[in-house]
A and B are shown apart, each in its own frame.
Chain A
Amino acid sequence: MNAQSAIDLTAVITTPENIQFEYRIAGPFRRLPALLLDFAIRVICFLVAFVLLLIVGLSIPFSGSIATMLFLIFWFAIDWFYGLVFESSWNGQTPGKYLTKIRVISIDGRPINGYQATVRNFLRLADFAPMVSLEMFFEDAPAVYMVPTFLVSLICMSITSRFQRLGDIAAGTMVVVNERAWVPNNVKLEDPRIASLSEHIPANFRMSSTLAKVIALYAERRTRIPTARRAELASHLARPLLKQFQFRDDTSPDLLLCALYYREFVTKDAFVDTRVQSLPSPLKREAPVPSSDDSPVQAPISNSLPPILNPSTTESTATANPIPLDRQVL
C-alpha cells in the first residue's frame, strides 16, 4: 500500500472515500491476446457486413451503390471507432478486453471518459509503428507497409511505470487486471498435531505484526513447497522460537510455524474437531513428540476435515449476524 510494497505490477489508487487500494496492471503479454481477439472480432464483423451487404445489393435492385457506400463507411468506422465506442460505453472494455479480463481506467482510478477513449484509440497507429512490409518475408508480396512491429508501444511500456503505451500516456490511462477476485482459502492445516501443538505455545507469547505477516505468507505458500525445503525455510524462524518456548530441538519447524499461524489467525471455535487426540507435550522434559512431517509415527491425517477459513463452515455464523454491515463496529 505504500513505498514498502512498491512492486512494479500494482498501481495505488486513492478513492474519493479516502481509501487506498491497489490495481494490478496488465502488461504487454496480458494485452496482446486482447488485441488479437479484438482484431479477430473486427475481421469477423467485416466479413459478416460484406456478405450481408453483398446479398442486399444483389437482391434488391438499385441498392448496390448504397450497399457499397454503407460497406465502405462501416469499414472505416470499424477501423477507427471500434475501440472508442466500446471503451466509452462498456466501462473501459472492448470485447477482447472483456474476454481477457482487463479494463482501461484513468491513472487516477476514475473510469475513462470519451476524450480519453478517443485519444488512446486514435493513437493506436503510432503504437504499431514502425510498420514492416510483407515484402521482407515473401518475395512476391506487395511493397505495402502493413505489418505492425509494436516497437513504439513496447518501448513505451518498458519505460513507464504503469505499462502504458503511447496512446495511454497521451490519454492518461492505464490497463488494469479486472479478474474476479478469488477467495483466499488456500491455507490447509489438515495435520491434527497443529492444533495441539499450538496449545503448548506459552500463553504470554505475543507476536509482532511483521512476524504474523511472515507466518501467514509461509502458511499460505507451504503447500507448494517440497517437504525438505519447508523444513529448511521454516528452521530459520523456528529455531530461536523453539529455544524461547523451550521445545524439543527435533520439533518440526514447519509444524511450529503452522501452529503459530493457527494460534494467531484461527480461533478454536472455527476449528472444532473432536477426532483430534491430544498429543504428548512437546516440552523437553516430557514425552517425545513426532519430529517431522513424514515420520512413521505421524498421526492419521483426516482428509474430511474442513479446510480452515472455508466459507461453508462460516455460513452459520454469518447468517446469525443480521446487523447491517455499515453499522457494525470492527
Chain B
Amino acid sequence: MRIAELLEKRRQGWVELENMCDALQRSNYPFHKKGNLVSRFSALYRAACTDLSMADQYQLPPTTVEYLHRLVGRAHSQLYRSRQFPFRKWIYYMSVVAPQSIFRDICVKVAFVVFFGLFTLSALLAWSEGNFPGFAERVLGSEQIEQMEQSFDKPLAGNFDRYVTMSGYYIKHNTSIGLQCFALGPLILPSLCALGYNGVVLGASFGYMTRSDVEQGDVFFQFVTAHGVFELTAIALSAAAGLRLGVGLFATGGLKRLESFRLNAERALPIIMTSVMLFFMAAFTEGFLSPSSLPYIVKASFAVFSSGLLMYYFVVLGYPRPEIDEILEESEDNPWRKIGIEYAAR
C-alpha cells in the first residue's frame, strides 16, 4: 500500500479524534456520561497509537509523525485526566497519613527543639532582668517594647466587628508567613533564620511581659493564652516542612538528588497542610476568643483543650502501630512507604 493511501484512510479517524479532543476541552460538554462516545474516543485513541507505533515501519513523512505525536499527546491528556481531591480522601489523608508521617519525621523534632528551645532560652533571658540586663531591649528594640506596652495598656474589650476583621487579617498575614517559611525551605537558610528569629523574638516578648514590674503583663497573657498553642505549633511545623524540603537536597538516602528532593517534597506536604490548618484555627481563636473580655479561666481552659487536641493528633493518631503501618504500606498517599520498584526503576 502506498503511503498516501494509508494516510488518507487514517486521516478521517485522526480528524475525528481531534474534534473529540476539542469537545472534551470544553468542560461543560457532558462527555463522560455517554458511554458510546467514550468507547469511540478510546478506539480512535488506540488506532492513533497504533499508527504512531507503526510510523517507522510504514515510513510516514516526518511531519505526519510529528502530527501524530501531538495528536496522541492531546488525546492522552484528555483520556487520563487529572483527578480532583475527593473529600473522603482528604479526611483520610489528614487524619491517618498526616499524623503518622509527622510523628516519624526527624525534621519536625529538630524544628520543635530549635524553636521551643530558643523560645524558652530567650524568654528566660528576657525575664531575668537582674542577670541579663538589657536583653529584651536589645532583641526587641525599645520602640517595639513601647508599642507593645501601649497596645496592652487597656483591658481587653473587643466588639464583633473588630473580631471578624482581625481574624481575616490573621488568616492572611500569619498563614502567608508560614507558607513563605515552607516555600523558602529548598534554600534552607531563610527557613531556618525565620524559625530562629520567630523563636527569639516571641520568647523575648513573653519573657519581658512576665517580668513583675511590667503592668501590661496581665492583659498580654489574657490575649495570647488562647491562641498561643496553635500558633506556636504552626510556626514550628511550617519551618519543619521547609527543613524537610531542604534536607532532601543533601540527605539523599541513595536516591538521585532530584528524585530525593521530589520524594521529600511529598513528605513535607502533610506537615505544611497541618500547619496551614493550625494557622487557620489560631487565626479564628486570635480573632474571636483572644481579644474578648471573657474571664481568664475560659481562655486558659481553651489552651489546655487545644494542647490536648494537638497531643491527640500528633501522639495518639501519630504513634506507629503495626495495623496502621500495614494500611499505610499499601496506600499510595503515604510518602514514607518503602522505596520499592517504583523508585528503583527511575
Contact = CB atoms under 8 A, between A and B. Distances in A.
Contacts of B109: none
B252 to A, nearest CB: 13
Interface in A212-235: 212-213, 216-217, 219-220
A23 B12 CA distance: 23
Most buried by B among A87, A308, A318: A318
B187 A319 contact: no
Contact of B12 (A90, A125, A160, A318): A318
Interface in B2-53: 2-13, 15, 18, 22, 27, 43-44, 46-47, 49-53
Contacts, number: 222
Most buried by B among A171, A219, A264, A326: A326
A311 B14 CA distance: 11
A181 B74 contact: yes
A311 B171 contact: no
Contacts of A71: 168
Contact residue range for chain A? 35 or more
B269 A328 contact: no
Interface stretch (B63-71, B123-131, B220-228): B63-71
A184 B9 contact: no
A92 B61 contact: no
A13 interface: yes
Given A71-B168, A72-B172, A326-B47, A23 B183 contact: no
B6 A330 contact: yes
Interface residues of B, number: 84
A321 B244 CA distance: 60
A13 B76 contact: yes
Contacts of A170: 186, 245, 261-262, 265
B67 A111 contact: no
B62 A321 contact: no
Nearest to B170: A72
Contacts of A64: 161
B171 A72 contact: yes
A181 B59 contact: no
Given A76-B175, A111-B82, A213-B59, A184 B67 contact: yes
Contacts of A187: 61, 63
A73 B276 CA distance: 13
A126 B9 contact: no
Given A92-B82, A126-B187, A321 B73 contact: no
Interface string A135-175: 00000000000000000100000001000001001111000
B212 interface: no
A113 B82 contact: yes
B58 interface: yes
Contact of A265 (B43, B56, B61, B168): B61
A186 interface: yes
Contact of A270 (B8, B44, B46, B164): B8
A269 to B, nearest CB: 7
A269 B4 CA distance: 9
A101 B44 CA distance: 23
A288 B44 CA distance: 51
A17 B27 CA distance: 25
A75 B46 contact: no
Nearest to A318: B12
Nearest to B9: A321
B30 to A, nearest CB: 16
A200 interface: no
B52 A172 contact: no
A105 B11 CA distance: 27
A179 interface: yes
Interface string B167-198: 11101100110011011111100000000000
B81 interface: yes
A126 B183 contact: yes
Contacts of A317: 5, 8-9
B34 to A, nearest CB: 18
B7 to A, nearest CB: 6
B102 interface: no
A66 B164 contact: yes
A21 B76 contact: yes
A170 B245 CA distance: 8
A324 B62 contact: no
Nearest to A72: B168
A251 B221 CA distance: 97
B186 A114 contact: no
A278 interface: no
Contact of B52 (A21, A125, A219): A21
Contacts of A308: 4
Contacts of B12: 315, 318-319, 321
Contacts of B183: 122-126
Contacts of B53: 19-20
B272 interface: yes
A266 interface: yes
B102 to A, nearest CB: 16
Contacts of B4: 265-267, 270, 308-309
Given A119-B269, A122-B183, A330 B54 contact: yes
Interface of A: 1, 13, 15, 17, 19-24, 62, 64-66, 68-73, 75-76, 79-80, 87-92, 103, 105, 109-115, 117-119, 122-126, 129, 152, 160, 166, 169-172, 176, 178-184, 186-187, 209, 212-213, 216-217, 219-220, 264-267, 269-270, 308-309, 311, 314-315, 317-319, 321, 324-326, 328, 330
5 contacts: A76-B176, A170-B186, A179-B70, A317-B8, A318-B9
Given A23-B69, A270-B5, 8 more contacts: A19-B50, A22-B73, A170-B265, A266-B4, A269-B5, A308-B4, A318-B12, A325-B44
Interface of B: 1-13, 15, 18, 22, 27, 43-44, 46-47, 49-54, 56, 58-59, 61-64, 66-74, 76-78, 80-85, 160-165, 167-169, 171-172, 175-176, 179-180, 182-187, 245, 258, 261-262, 265-266, 268-269, 272-273, 333
